[in-house]
Amino acid sequence: MTQESKEIKEIDLLELFSTIGQGIKNAFTSLLKGVIFLIVFGIKRAHWLALFAIAGGLVGYLMFSSTQRFYSSDLIAQPNGISAVDMVQYINDLNRFTKKNNTIALSNALDLPDTIAKKIKSIEAFHYIDVNKDEIGDFVDFLHSYNAKDTNLAIDNQRFFLQVEVYDNKTFSSVKNGIFSYVEKNPYLIELNEIRKSELEELISSIGYEISKLDSLQNVDYFKNNNRLGTSNDNNFMLLSEKEKPMYYKDKMYLTHQKQYYLKELKMATAPLTIIKDFTPLTMEENPKGSYIIKFGFWFGVIGYLVLLLFNKRKNLNQFIK
């Protein structure tokens, strides 16, 4: 390659980088001018935008006046004898009643009067999703978007999330008792829980028997070793062929740990449902007046801005369309 061709290539690269740099500069300048134009455009028409926002606030107030206030509360629970998947499906039968406004079925399921059943907005259970499959739920699947084909995700079968919404916070205690009654009166769930407790009692008894056998073996080895040392002419003399002493400590600690775990399960998880975190107090409305006014006022302001911008640039749009 000649010296002249090398110089030409170097010049071409310099021109290329210079063109790229100039293009980036022009794009940044155009973007900055566009942002400044939009800001100035909005400032000049602030009175129109204010009118749109006020109109949106009035619409929000009308929406607030035409809807009922409701309160929300939630709990975290652990099902016993049944998987969290099955328990979520069982509780969400109540949610189908609320969506269809079937107050008669809801009243019968919860053992509540119709007047209280009508005050229930929704009762819905959600799964906890385990991201790394470490048997710990990482987030609540509020959108029911779990995909079984995603191998990185799994449903936490140890607990679930329950959310209740009511129109009258004074009726919530009755609704809460009705939900617990709905779960605890199911004969199938009761029988599964009784079987689970029987299995735990058998496991505790078996582990206790295994621990007693370890204690007996340890005592036998202790006396056997002491007798051997007592009959020996030299207490410091050890046979090279003597086997290593079995270690009972680790096995006993593991069995004791398992026994304590089963005892805890048997003592604390006696009902078909164990409450990990009870319902939160219902103190604030979930749909207050301010939220409606701010939301509708904001979106009407945005729509008004776009309408004014399109009206201002209508000639440019007509030319672009042509």
Q: pLDDT value at position 182? A: 92
Domain ranges of the chain: 194-232+245-271
Confidence check: pLDDT of 238 > 90 = no
Q: pLDDT value at position 283? A: 65
Per-residue pLDDT tens digits for 16-60:
777 787 788 788 888 888 788 778 877 888 888 888 888 888 888
Q: Within a 10 A sphere around the Cβ of 275, how many other Cβ atoms? A: 13
Based on DSSP, count helices (H) and strands (E) in the chain, helices before strands. Answer: 10, 5
Q: For the chain, where are the E strands, in sequence order?
A: 71-79, 120-130, 139-140, 154-166, 273-277
Angle at 312 between CA 308 and CA 318, to 5 degrees: 120
Confidence check: pLDDT of 241 > 50 = no
Kindly report the pTM of this predicted structure. Answer: 0.66
Q: pLDDT value at position 11? A: 54
Beta pairing partners, 166: 71, 120
| Range of lowest pLDDT (175-179, 213-217, 294-298) | 213-217
Confidence check: pLDDT of 162 > 90 = yes
Is the pLDDT higher at 113 or at 226?
Answer: 113
User: Is 170 in contact with 192 (CB distance < 8 Å)?
Assistant: no
| Range of lowest pLDDT (38-42, 141-145, 152-156, 240-244) | 240-244
Residue with tokens 């935008």: 49
Q: pLDDT value at position 237? A: 44
Could you give the percent of the chain with pLDDT greater than 90? 17
Per-residue pLDDT tens digits for 77-99:
999 988 899 999 999 999 999 99
Q: pLDDT value at position 26? A: 80
